[in-house]
Amino acid sequence: MDATSLEDLRAALSEGALSTDPATVENYRRDWTQSESAGMPLCLVRAAGADDVVAAVRWAAERGVPVVPRGAGSGLSGGSCAVDGCLTLSLDRMRSIEIDVETRTAVVEPGAFNAEVKAAAAEHGLWYPPDPSSFEICSIGGNVATNAGGLCCVKYGVTTDYVLGLDVVLADGTFVRLGGKRIKDVAGLSLVKLFVGSEGTLGIVTRAILRLVPAQARPATLVAIFDTVEAAADAVVAVGRTLRPSMMELMDNASIGAVEDYQPMGLDRTAGALLIAQSDAPGAARAEEIEVIRAACEHAGAKECFVTDDPAEGELFAAARRAAFPAIERLGALMLEDVGVPVPLLPRLLTGIAAIAQEHDVQIPVVAHAGDGNTHPIIVYPRGDAAAKGRAADAFEAVMRLAIGLGGTITGEHGVGRLKKAALPEQLGPDVMALTHRIKDALDPQGILNPGAAF
């Protein structure tokens, strides 16, 4: 690429949007995975608005330059890691949030953090439910592109359930506006749904219209202590047969220990597993739901159940669960899984993961959004140990194969990205893979949008 071409790009963008400064570009090269295989971008564009996105994509399309869109870089699948010679397109400066109380919607630019949208909605007594554990460090654009889940999704659903409209810049630079502030709308194909979860491979999201709901009622929290993860999983299955708690999270012994070492919270280090459940049902139904959960836990063999009506105390346990990734990260190098299965098969998934850990001689602490069958087995191995890294990679594949064999998925919420791409055909099969490629070819015939990610 000659210098004139980059000057053309600079001229097409708002002032200061283009950067070729190596240190700045480096800061936008990788996501949370810190992938060693991230490529070296040609340049970085930090768009100030949709016009910059259109100009950047048009410039790239004319030259066949790959475009890697990027939100806040908290992704766990390598999805926003650069490829060689790409234009890294960061949406981190586009952060406006407008709350429309009448329609109960938020009109949000993609760089706004999830937590900022929640806070803006809360000022009007409203709530944006999707709550990835990373809600304080991830963007709405990234949430839309990965169809992010979280802790309350067991009752309230995932990102796609709250996206009413999207502005999208297509691979040739065409700007389209999809959906709107309408609760119901079946005109035309469900294109909004197509772009949600497309991991930056079909278009760049420049604005989202999000559905808001009334503020959540004060939840009551139950924490149950078990000798084994299997017993905890049995309790999850039993609860799922009768009700939907507003949270149902699991931590195993290794993740409890890691969190206690990271930021001591008084969790029981001797516990084989911990379940953290919440109910936000109205009035007397809240206590009734908590009693149903308690009975299921005790029936499954819980050693102890602790209940609190104090939301602040409940939040401390949720915070302990959210701290699991950074805590476990201190134990060594990680390969992070996101496999999910139908809820009744959760106990078999967890038993299988323990067997894989033993067989491959690696540690696999597990945390889980257990209520919706979505687990995060985290394969830990010593940094710089090539043999252990090889065993970890084998275990990584084995866990995905186990989930597929149980009718599950290789990723419940983080996305396929670059880390799980090789396993996708095994889950989807040749016909669905071919259909996926036909859609991609129709929307991005040059294959410039996030090449190498997702499929």
Ligand X SMILES: Cc1cc2nc3c(=O)[nH]c(=O)nc-3n(C[C@H](O)[C@H](O)[C@H](O)COP(=O)(O)OP(=O)(O)OC[C@H]3O[C@@H](n4cnc5c(N)ncnc54)[C@H](O)[C@@H]3O)c2cc1C
Shortest distance in whole angstroms from residue 90 CB to ligand X: 8
Shortest distance in whole angstroms from residue 41 CB to ligand X: 13
| CB-based contacts of 206, cutoff 8 Å, min separation 6 | 47, 49, 50, 53, 91, 94, 109, 110, 167, 168, 169, 175
The reply on whether position 31 binds ligand X by CB under 6 A is: yes
Shortest distance in whole angstroms from residue 40 CB to ligand X: 17
Strand partners, 378: 336
Task: Give me the phi and psi of 16, to 5 degrees please.
Answer: 80, 0
Q: Which is nearer to ligand X, 31 or 116 (CB)?
A: 31
Identify residues 56-115 at the interface with ligand X (CB under 6 A). Answer: 68-76, 79-80, 91, 110
| Contact with ligand X (CB under 6 A) among 33, 88, 139, 409 | 139
The reply on whether position 150 binds ligand X by CB under 6 A is: yes
The reply on whether position 143 binds ligand X by CB under 6 A is: yes
Taking Cα atoms as reference points, which of 415, 338, 373 lies closest to residue 144?
A: 415
Site string for ligand X, 161-180 (x = CB under 6 A): --------------------
Taking Cα atoms as reference points, which of 233, 223, 262 lies closest to residue 354?
A: 233
Shortest distance in whole angstroms from residue 3 CB to ligand X: 27
Shortest distance in whole angstroms from residue 147 CB to ligand X: 8
Taking Cα atoms as reference points, which of 86, 77, 75 lies closest to residue 25?
A: 86
Shortest distance in whole angstroms from residue 283 CB to ligand X: 29
Residue range at the interface with ligand X (CB under 6 A); choices 8-16, 98-106, 142-150, 437-445: 142-150
Identify residues 303-332 at the interface with ligand X (CB under 6 A). Answer: 325-326
Please give the Cα distance from 57 to 43 (Å, whole number): 13
| CB-based contacts of 268, cutoff 8 Å, min separation 6 | 225, 256, 274, 304
Please give the Cα distance from 321 to 305 (Å, whole number): 17
The reply on whether position 41 binds ligand X by CB under 6 A is: no
Shortest distance in whole angstroms from residue 369 CB to ligand X: 7
Identify residues 118-137 at the interface with ligand X (CB under 6 A). Answer: 132-134
Amino acid residing at 66: P
Q: Which is nearer to ligand X, 233 or 367 (CB)?
A: 367
| Contact with ligand X (CB under 6 A) among 28, 32, 59, 381 | 32
- Over the Cα atoms of the chain, what is R_g? 22
**DSSP SS3 for 312:** helix
The reply on whether position 247 binds ligand X by CB under 6 A is: no
* Residue 133 token pair: 């554990």
Shortest distance in whole angstroms from residue 288 CB to ligand X: 28
Decide: 95 and 49 in contact? Cβ < 8 Å: no
| Contact with ligand X (CB under 6 A) among 360, 414, 420, 440 | 414
Shortest distance in whole angstroms from residue 113 CB to ligand X: 8
The reply on whether position 418 binds ligand X by CB under 6 A is: no
Q: Which is nearer to ligand X, 221 or 228 (CB)?
A: 221
| CB-based contacts of 77, cutoff 8 Å, min separation 6 | 31, 33, 146, 338, 411, 414, 415, 416, 417, 418, 419, 420
**DSSP SS3 for 47:** coil
Shortest distance in whole angstroms from residue 432 CB to ligand X: 20
The reply on whether position 416 binds ligand X by CB under 6 A is: no
Q: Which is nearer to ligand X, 150 or 314 (CB)?
A: 150
Task: Give me the phi and psi of 254, to 5 degrees please.
Answer: -65, -40
Strand partners, 358: none
The H-assigned helical ranges of 50-152 are 50-63, 114-122, 140-146
Number of residues that bind ligand X (CB under 6 A): 38
Residues that bind ligand X (CB under 6 A): 31-32, 68-76, 79-80, 91, 110, 132-134, 138-139, 141-143, 145-146, 148-150, 199-200, 204-205, 325-326, 413-414, 450, 453
